Structure 1
Amino acid sequence: MPDAPVILSDDPASFPHSVLADRHPALIRKVRDAFPYGPAQHRALDALLKSAVEGAVEPLDDDVWWETWGVDAYVGRSWFEVPFLWSESYFYRRLLRAVGYFGPGPWQGVDPFRPFKLAELDTPEAAEEIAALDRLDGRPAEEQRQALLHGSLWGNRADLGFRIQSGDEKSATSELVADDSESLWPLLTGGTLVVVADNAGRELIPDLLLVDHLLRHDRIERAVLHLKPYPYYVSDATTADVVDAVSHLVTADAPAGRRLWSALTDGRLTLRAHPFSCGPLPYADIPDDLREEFAAADLTIMKGDLNYRRLVGDRLWPPTTPFATPTAYFPGPVAALRTLKSDVIVGLDEHTEPALVAAEGQKWRTSGTHALIQVKP
């Protein structure tokens, strides 16, 4: 596979640098205010804030997985000098340790991002999205399917981590920079669909609605939803977030909620939370058990920006690099549904990038106003 430079954070003018220098400190402050943490957690958060901006990578002696993910190789180096994907993932692991998530203690298992996630479900926008299901239900199945696919795709714009930095959701006209959706549907012929979820709240609900539709219309026999084993990247979905989302649909009297609840209880929809889902490495390094699971699926859908970075590698690929090139390692058919919120991009035709740069400079890569659907059969 052709190589490309790994994305770092050492350029002060770069998007990755702004994430580490601006977004992460802002998030620490929001988490600090979200719960009545005690003095020990406040001291740990203050220390993390100082370390993340001015300090160096420290060991994670309490996590055997991170030992295998290369933490020792980066100990003592600036957060800005190691791969961006690795540094960003390491930050969230350190944040959880700072608030006592891994315990033992009274804050063990308490999701520091839960107030933000629940707030996403209790909004007029979320209520309108559920109400729109009634209007969609009378449409032909093919039209429903396409609408739900785009709902799942654009639901990512509710990503809470993105909104912490940007202030609110972007209102600019959104558009697809690549659309392989016509190659996606023939892969769903009654077998198994794996969905590697991204965000909770207003993104997870459209993902679940798409799964419900495919089960309901026999396009798949079963679905496997991969989640994070613990809170991550502010809004990444965990098992608790799935329960919240399905319960929200049931409470709203949406028929899809009852169907999803039934699908969970009878095994047509199953949940997975593998430790590698919180890893700082690309999917090219997936462990054997995950590789076998992806290989057995009729299709794996990778949702969101982080999964895209891990799927193709968080590198500065030439944008015209075919999507099939950096995903050639993947053991089965794979599709990416992603709104663009980071620098990495592949699979564009030769005319798309020049037109975007002429209109927006390089902001098109990170603004969240563009999206893509890419498929490797």
Structure 2
Amino acid sequence: MSLAADSLGLPEARVVTAADPAEFAYTVFHDRHPRLFAQVRHALPYGPAQLDALHRLEEETLTGTLQPLDPGAELAAAGDRAEWTEWGAPYFGRGLRWTDVPFLWSESYFYRRLLSATGYFAGPWRGVDPFGPMKADGLAGAAVDRELAAYGALDGMSAAERDSAVLHACVAGNQADLGFQLIAGAPVGVSLIVDDSAAIWAHLNEREPGRVNLVADNAAEELLPDLLLIEHLITTGRATSATVYLKPRPYYVSDAMTQDAVALLRRLVAAPGLAGDAGRRLWGYCTDGRVRFEAPAFFCSPFGFHAFPPEIVAAIGSATLTVFKGDLNYRRLVGDRFWPVTTPFADLTGYLPGPVAALRTCKSEVAVGLTEAAAAALDAGSPDWRFAGRHAVIQFTEVRR
């Protein structure tokens, strides 16, 4: 039983794996990952050693058994090889397929192995982001141009309309996940099936302003509205400062690292109109310390947020609000299990000591916080609503157990 169920008295729920061809997680290994391998092979001029390692990893994930990290493939100084040996002890050497182990664990390990295959930790390709060209294309693409231009519409809005626009833009931006686009194609718009945005603004308006945390998801066009939300909260006096949690290394194709945030900031500062004004204010908030970027190693581990280290738990407990962006962060926040959809969001996040909001486009099987009637209507009208990326939630709780 998960830590969430143990500590909160919740019923048992099956852990998500990629073993069942009828479930979405299976398609990640058998549809998304082969497309990803093709993109990575063509994105950079890798040599025979890297191309061969990528081919062998692809074959292992599709038809082989789960193998430990190859100690000859990277420097011992990579830092986490010993940890992965420990984390994989329940699985390595047991003849298990990748699809037999918890999906959250196997996906995380997949991206760690992919970095090894591309030489990220040793040799001439050390430190080269295999997803960098895809992120750069997103940053330079028309989607960012449209977002920057659309931001100008805030000039004619009331204060309440601006609040709504910047928050809902973050949810729409979650469709920019490059990994998701490997399956779904171009974004098609989202329908909110839970919207606690009024409660979020009431919470912020009724309290003394303090620090907010943002646990970021993807780079480029998704990170843009996230950073603009942070700027809006500080500029309107809802927050005194902000900590933005990023990934310390490439992860899940488009997950944002510090260099991705900096690249986006540079583009935002150079934008015309209101977006550029907001970008320059945000740059100033970074340089005066009101906005800080953090990239703890934990965020590239294979665990849910029940296993947060004490310093992150303390940062959540002392914040006015912690916002979790995206589907992966949602799975890690509530637990990657087939919870009954009526399980209260507050129950599954009650292990954290501060107010929590989740802004998430639904791209996986996990779904909670709905009524039975709402779930039944979705099942009848859109059977793939859990993972097709056309539905989204804004969920919030300040109730601590």
TM-score interval, smaller chain? over 0.9
Q: What residue in structure 1 maps to residue 154 of structure 2?
A: 136
Tell me if 1:20 matches 2:29.
Answer: yes
Instruction: Pick one of 265, 285, 302 that aligns with 2:287.
Output: 265
Q: What residue in structure 2 maps to residue 8 of structure 1?
A: 17
User: Secondary structure of the equivalent of 1:324?
Assistant: helix
Shift of 1:125: 2.7
Q: Distance in 1 between matches of 2:354 and 2:190?
A: 30
Contact 1:85 1:280 in 2 (8 A): yes
Tell me if 1:108 matches 2:126.
Answer: yes
Tell me if 1:365 matches 2:386.
Answer: yes
Q: Distance in 2 between matches of 1:84 and 1:343?
A: 11
Superposed CA deviations along residues 130-176 of structure 1, whole A, max 9, x for unmatched, are: 1122221232222111100000111011110000122332x2x6311
- For structure 2, the residue ranges without an aligned partner over 5 or more in a row are 1-7
Contact 2:172 2:190 in 1 (8 A): no
Shift of 1:79: 0.3
Instruction: Name the count of aligned residue pairs.
Output: 372
Q: Distance in 2 between matches of 1:5 and 1:320?
A: 15
Superposed CA deviations along residues 24-55 of structure 1, whole A, max 9, x for unmatched, are: 12101110110001111111101111111111
Contact 1:59 1:72 in 2 (8 A): no
Shift of 1:17: 0.7
* Letter in structure 2 aligned against 1:183: A
Superposed CA deviations along residues 66-104 of structure 1, whole A, max 9, x for unmatched, are: 245x2121113210100011111110000011101111x
Instruction: Pick one of 166, 177, 197 that aligns with 2:193.
Output: 177
Tell me if 1:52 matches 2:61.
Answer: yes
Instruction: Pick one of 80, 85, 88 that aligns with 1:71.
Output: 88
Tell me if 1:243 matches 2:262.
Answer: yes
TM-score, normalised by the number of residues in structure 2:
0.90
* Letter in structure 1 aligned against 2:65: A
Q: Distance in 2 between matches of 1:49 and 1:341?
A: 23
Shift of 1:182: 1.6
Q: Distance in 2 between matches of 1:334 and 1:75?
A: 35
Aligned pairs (5 A) from 1:1-377: 1=8, 2=10, 3-60=12-69, 62=76, 63-68=81-86, 70-76=87-93, 77-103=96-122, 105-169=123-187, 171=188, 174-188=190-204, 189=207, 190-253=209-272, 254-361=276-383, 363-377=384-398
Q: Distance in 2 between matches of 1:51 and 1:204?
A: 33
TM-score, normalised by the number of residues in structure 1:
0.96
* Letter in structure 2 aligned against 1:174: V
Q: Distance in 2 between matches of 1:129 and 1:56?
A: 44
User: Secondary structure of the equivalent of 2:348?
Assistant: coil
Q: Distance in 2 between matches of 1:9 and 1:128?
A: 36
User: Secondary structure of the equivalent of 2:263?
Assistant: helix
Greater Cα offset, 56-65 or 342-351: 56-65
Shift of 1:261: 1.0
Shift of 1:181: 1.2
Shift of 1:226: 0.1
* Letter in structure 1 aligned against 2:130: P
* Letter in structure 2 aligned against 1:72: A
Q: Distance in 2 between matches of 1:222 and 1:240?
A: 21
Contact 1:7 1:316 in 2 (8 A): yes
User: Secondary structure of the equivalent of 1:112?
Assistant: coil
Q: Distance in 1 between matches of 2:143 and 2:200?
A: 28
* Letter in structure 2 aligned against 1:38: G
User: Secondary structure of the equivalent of 2:124?
Assistant: coil
* Letter in structure 1 aligned against 2:90: A
User: Secondary structure of the equivalent of 1:318?
Assistant: coil
RMSD over aligned CA atoms reads: 1.3
Contact 2:190 2:361 in 1 (8 A): no
- For structure 1, the residue ranges without an aligned partner over 5 or more in a row are none
* Letter in structure 1 aligned against 2:114: L
